[in-house]
A and B are shown apart, each in its own frame.
Chain A
Amino acid sequence: MEDELESGVVKKFLYVNRRAPHGTVYAHEALEVVLIGAAFEQDVSLAFIDDGVFQLKKEQDTSEIYTKNFSKIYAALEMYDVEKLYVDKDSLESRGLTENDLSVDVKVIDSKEMTKLIVDSEVIFNF
């Protein structure tokens, strides 16, 4: 692969997803970064905050808005060794969602834990 790294450096990467899955391209293109980034064997976590929690909503159907339903890819992240998914508790609750509404296994954390996750990360992508 052209972008292969041989430095052996492993950093804590955090992808912060803050936007609804559809309506703008950010969520979809963020997922593309996660998938490519998985090849670099970094220590990867994903955080879902604000409307970003909707990205993980079960049973999305985009057929009538003619955009790609990329929501199924979140369930495949495990195969890329991307296994640390964190969801902000307040964001979930204020949108009337529970963990059962989500399509993948996540860890629901409060804002204090989320702050710690962000502070402890070395490379943060904010989409």
Chain B
Amino acid sequence: MLFGILVNEGPYQHQASDSAYLFAKAAIEEGHTIFRVFFYHDGVNNGTRLATPPQDDRHIPNRWSELAQEHEIDLVLCVAAAQRRGMVDPDEMKRHKKDADNIADKFRISGLGQLIEAGVQADRLITFGD
């Protein structure tokens, strides 16, 4: 089955990103395919490469990057949500004349159309959040 995943909450504050990650991993292990993971609301904060959690804790952004690397999963941060919250990729950095970018490996920033497309293309769109 082709799954789309929507993550609506930030890392560590909320279990949504953990559950979405575990779901994606389990789905892949069962032979399913993840069409896209779309991060919205505070969920965009899952895409920062500047997080430094304690060593005995899971590294949520890195974990997503690694899963995407391994299984070629499309990780998309909503551009409007990202701009509000200071999530920046190299293109956004140039466009808005910021002095840095902070996006983690394998994440990209794009429009909400990518979420709608996931809804249309995937067999199931699963939301993780409250």
Contacts and interface: CB of A to CB of B under 8 A. Distances in A.
Given A11-B120, A123-B119, A123-B120, A32 B113 contact: no
Given A32-B80, A126-B127, A1 B113 contact: yes
B112 A36 contact: yes
Contact of B120 (A9, A25, A126): A9
Contact size range, B:
20 to 34
A13 B118 CA distance: 12
- Those 9 A-B pairs whose CB atoms lie nearest each other, nearest first: A3-B113, A123-B119, A36-B112, A37-B116, A40-B116, A9-B120, A126-B127, A123-B125, A3-B111
Interface of B: 6, 8, 40-41, 80-81, 110-117, 119-121, 125, 127, 129
Given A2-B111, A7-B121, A36 B116 contact: yes
Where chain A touches its partner, the secondary structure class is: mixed
A65 interface: no
Given A123-B119, A125-B6, A29 B81 contact: yes
B120 A40 contact: yes
A2 B110 CA distance: 9
Contacts of A13: 116, 119
Contacts of A2: 110-111, 113
